[in-house]
Structure 1
Amino acid sequence: MRIQWSLIAGLIFALLTALFAVINVDPVQVNFGFDVVNIPLILVIIGCALIGGVIVGSYGIFRQYKLQKQIKGLTAELTKLRDANTTPESLNIENEEISANRSTEL
């Protein structure tokens, strides 16, 4: 349900950004530090929104990768702990119990 609300909020934000951009079509001066150009404001708004989306998306992908790496590490640690609980001594005890049960069945 949370994903659906996030999607709806994202769509509303995109719609408001597009509406705001369409209203502002006048050319503006943009100073890039090395050159000054006249660009329609709609391109500046949409460009900034896209750059922000790329930054947020990149952070989300990085966070997801980091969490998956942590999950793999914890899974490996859990497997190691489970293997440590299955020591050869406990296996020998289990084998002796199985042998004892078989001998009583015969």
Structure 2
Amino acid sequence: MGKRDDLIARYAEDLRNKCGMTPDMDLLTKVTIGCGPAIYNDDASTVAGSQTSELETIKENFLMKKLGLPDGPELMGGIYKAIDTYGKSERNKYRAVVYYLLTKHFGKESVYG
């Protein structure tokens, strides 16, 4: 297995153990690939859930640009729900897992179809 496959396996484990859900491996793989080279960078591969600027970036670059959602308070609500699902005390929140949770939350799996 390659490095990306190892990371996808780690993300799936987080979804099972920390988020309490069975991951859709096809969607998780597509979301991970969509993150691009960021998954290989220690800083870029994780989300700082307590930094407002980081959450704004997720809202603008992922939810609005990638998923095509209109701006509104429900976007930040979805981000906070994803952070809560992952666990606020969880230090390493992988970007691919957060994006996966957001894709599922907003029902935008078709973007990766």
Q: Shorter-chain-normalised TM-score: which range?
A: under 0.3
Q: Which has a greater percent of helix?
A: 1
Greater C-alpha radius of gyration: 1
Q: Normalization by structure 1: what TM-score? A: 0.21
Q: Which has the higher contact order (CA 8 A, sep 6+)?
A: 2
Q: Normalization by structure 2: what TM-score? A: 0.20
